[in-house]
Structure 1
């Protein structure tokens, strides 16, 4: 599908139609990076502010040169720790790298249904629902993801839909919930000019 199809569909909702007048939609949510690099960026961003995650990500990338399984495995834990990584995140990233070296093709998951991707990712140590949703959306470019675990999305959602709104409302935006999520992020009062690697820039 495409952003054009998503726009035509979402414009049927009067509330989202008003947001579409203000914000352009990305043509795709999938960045130019490979899936492993995107997932590394997502893990670094777990449970910290965007500004903090970007700072750590830059330090790690400056040291490694790029996010690859080989570089993640060969870099000592104490070095990653000095770059700002927590022990749990280091364990998660190294565990991911091992899975990829053992044959898991993260990029190939793009062609799998969300349920299958979620099963694989949630089976990895340190990967929860937020990371899985972010990977589905930004790592694989899936268009029907509504990451309710994201604080900024919830803030934008309630600001637009009202404090009594429930996430079940998002069902009416299938199969383009990723685009609806994007619109709520724009309304979240988050500084979107500072973003990690995995984020899509319009």
Structure 2
């Protein structure tokens, strides 16, 4: 099996690898917790998401049973919107019904995982790709839906459209997830108010 860093050093991501070193991609210890993090992060500023996550994790055990048992008033008190509460409980019900772990997807390719995950209320393409990358450690995911990815590519490469970004990302196959981590890191460095998503 080829080495992702050696492979990507031969592409236009190479300078970022030299700058940041080897950034690891791994399977999450708890897939449900990782999905909850992604739901919290949906469509709000990074600073707001960080605050809500901190309060949520301080006040509750992040398990399907605990989320289903929690009343909506308590969940709203940590900053979750009614819609996100509904989404988290939907994922919790799905996790319990299907007895889901990271191993549940071991025989499924990325597209099949996305198809399965997006049947859950509140899980769209972006959340599914975050789960692939940060939950399952899949190596060849390119989340062009992510605003920070697009802004990073605009700043670093000058790409303006999603089509241009997808075309450029093709050269990073089969390690587009790793390339994405470097784009995020570069964007974070250029925009210091943005949290480094890599370490979540």
Matches within 5 A, 1:48-127: 48-64=44-60, 66-111=61-106, 112-127=108-123
- Note the C-alpha offset of 1:164: 4.6
Deviates more, 1:183-192 or 1:51-60: 183-192
Secondary structure at the counterpart of residue 102 of structure 1: helix
Distance 1:201 1:179 in 2: 13
| TM-score, normalised with respect to structure 2 | 0.89
- Residue matched to 2:124: 128
Q: State the distance in 2 between where 1:141 and 1:100 align.
A: 19
Point out where structure 1 has 5 or more consecutive residues left out of the alignment: none
Q: Which has the larger helix fraction? A: 2
Q: Is 1:19 aligned to residue 16 of structure 2?
A: yes
Matched-pair contact (CA < 8 Å) for 1:56–1:83: yes
Q: Using the alignment, how far apart are the partners of 2:146 and 2:194 within structure 1?
A: 18
Q: CA deviation at 1:110?
A: 4.2
Residues 17 and 192 from structure 1, CA distance in 2 versus in 1: closer, same or farther, beyond 3 angstroms?
farther
Larger RCO: 1 or 2 (CA < 8 Å, sep 6+): 1
TM-score, structure 1 normalization:
0.88
Check whether the contact 1:159–1:187 (CA below 8 A) recurs between aligned residues.
Answer: no
Counterpart secondary structure, 2:76: helix
Distance 1:138 1:192 in 2: 22
After superposition, the CA RMSD in angstroms is 2.0
Structure 2, unaligned stretches of length 5 or more?
A: none
Residue 31 of structure 2 corresponds to 35
